[in-house]
């Protein structure tokens, strides 16, 4: 117990509190981001694919898990998304503001990490596209974009586009989700 307390004190000295003006909690409370990041925070919780019961597969999704999980982290400055959690196909996307604009990094089952930036936000749909130069090679298969549609407080959908090379879209996949009560 004394060792743990000493470690916490040492961390407090090495990493002093950041003021609210510098983007930290300070006296200003949790981080408040772009309107789009704040919208994504509302997804916090567990989701299943529409047409499925929790823990079951949705029709037409044989062999694929049915869940997505969202969590707000880092004092409200990021939203962490886990698609197909606790499976070999689990993918993680982290949404954050960069220069006041919503961005994301997608840790893909294709073993790459495309970074995307918000290109459009209208009528309850957020659209992201690949940031050029964020992959080792755009020749490898990769997710090139995603649109997230908010279909009410307890429903949403994601449409992902996959490319096999620069400008070569090979697949678009839409998943419809509903919130787990």
Beta carbons of 95 and 105 less than 8 angstroms apart: no
Phi, psi of 48 (to 5 degrees): -125, 160
* pLDDT tens-place values along the chain, 181 residues long: 444 434 433 444 444 444 344 444 455 688 999 999 999 999 999 999 876 544 444 444 444 445 899 999 999 999 999 998 988 889 999 999 999 999 999 999 999 999 999 999 998 999 999 999 898 888 888 999 999 999 888 999 999 998 887 667 788 889 999 998 8
Which token pair is 130?
């690949």
Residue whose pair of structure tokens reads 């919780």 in the numeric block = 45
Q: Residue 108: name the closest of 133, 134, 72, 132 by CA.
A: 134
Beta carbons of 81 and 75 less than 8 angstroms apart: no
Helix ranges restricted to H, the chain? 2-14, 35-41
Q: What is the pTM for the complete model shown? A: 0.78
């Amino acid at each position: 117990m004394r060792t743990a307390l000493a470690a916490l004190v040492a961390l407090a000295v090495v990493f002093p509190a950041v003021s609210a003006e510098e983007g930290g909690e300070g006296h200003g409370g949790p981080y408040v981001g772009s309107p789009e990041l704040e919208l994504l925070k509302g997804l916090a919780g567990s989701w299943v694919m529409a047409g499925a019961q929790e823990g079951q597969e949705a029709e037409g999704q044989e062999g694929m898990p049915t869940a997505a999980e969202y969590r707000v982290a880092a004092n409200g400055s990021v939203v962490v998304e886990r698609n197909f959690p606790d499976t070999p196909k689990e993918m993680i996307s982290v949404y954050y503001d960069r220069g006041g604009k919503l961005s994301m990094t997608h840790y893909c089952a294709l073993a790459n990490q495309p970074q995307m930036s918000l290109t459009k936000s209208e009528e309850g749909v957020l659209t992201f596209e690949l940031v050029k130069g964020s992959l080792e090679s755009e020749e490898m298969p990769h997710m090139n974009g995603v649109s997230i549609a908010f279909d009410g407080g307890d429903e949403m959908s994601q449409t992902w586009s996959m490319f096999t090379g620069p400008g070569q879209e090979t697949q678009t996949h839409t998943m419809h989700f509903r919130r787990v009560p």
